[in-house]
Structure 1
Amino acid sequence: MSSDHERPDSRHRRPSGVTRATVEALGALSKALETTERARGALYSFHQLTGSADLVLDDAVRLLREAGHGREADRVEREVLGRNVIPDHWTFQIIEAYNATYYRPFQQLEEEIRSELADGRDHLYEAEMKEERRTKHHPDHTAC
């Protein structure tokens, strides 16, 4: 095995002068951002599921009419089809607001702090954890 696999590359090594406490703090900040990424993904799921349900309502309206239930079809069209999910907003507008108001500022701040404190190196906490937990010289336990 080459020695390249025995030492993490420079992208995953703590820069000189960066303390363990700083690495832990950056790890927590990164974990919070990753959780925000998951929340954002849930918003996209919400958006797609709600949109799909709204499109299926077209079939429900058509089928209600075909079954002779025009009044009920009219109610579905009037009261639910194309309705705002919260006042003044469809789901895409919620995502746009979330991205502009919370996600992008958080993402930018995390990147700026990581650049200031760790030369922009990402996942130092995890890289150090991998180094601590791996079995040296094992082919499936290579360094970062």
Structure 2
Amino acid sequence: MTIDEDHTRPDGVDDLTVEALGKISEALEAVEVARGALYTFHRLSGTADLTLGEGVDQLREAGHTELADRIERDLVGRNVLNGRWTFQVVEEYDDGYYACFRELERAAREELVQGKRHLYEAEMKEDRRTHGRSGHEPTP
């Protein structure tokens, strides 16, 4: 193989270990996407609350004070989950599940393959690329 040292399997590491670490890495990538969706939820919920506040102000200016007051009292600034705004949901996810997942994925790589990342993908690249062909170089 001609892949770089950072992506070369350490001596004595079997295929199943590399495949297992590849699956764990793939799972972490899914968690990263889920985290992005959670941040999207956070941003959209915040935008909705601010926009709702503007709409309530306009209702009040249009003379619909009672309805504006009701929406403002019951919905503007309301928790999205029991006792939580979205920033609190994001923080709890980041500090709990996400932090644990990242730490254990890293620990598995450190223990089994000297911390090297993406070994499965690097070996797949080496297997699938056309050697000697422009655009198929092993490294930049």
When the two structures are superposed, what TM-score results if normalisation uses the length of structure 1? 0.94
1:141 to 2:136 alignment: yes
How many angstroms apart in 2 are the aligned matches of 1:74 and 1:25? Answer: 57
How far apart, CA to CA, are the structure 1 residues paired with 2:2 and 2:58?
65
What is residue 62 of structure 2 aligned with on the other side? 67
Alignment partner of 1:42 is 2:37: yes
Alignment of 1:1-144 (within 5 A): 7-144=2-139
CA deviation map 1:33-78 (0-9, x unaligned):
1100111110000000000000111210111011110011001110
Q: Secondary structure at the residue paired with 2:43? A: helix
What is the CA–CA distance in structure 2 between the aligned matches of 1:84 and 1:62, rounded to whole Å?
Answer: 20
Which amino acid in structure 1 is aligned with residue 17 of structure 2? T
Q: Distance in 2 between matches of 1:68 and 1:7?
A: 74
Calculate percent identity across the aligned residue pairs.
54
- Number of matched pairs: 139
User: Partners in 2 of 1:62 and 1:55 — Cα distance?
Assistant: 11
Instruction: Structure 1: give runs of 5+ residues left out of the alignment.
Output: 1-5
CA distance in 2, matches of 1:97, 1:59: 29
Q: What's the counterpart of residue 3 of structure 1? A: none
Mind listing any 5+ residue stretches in structure 2 that lack a counterpart?
none
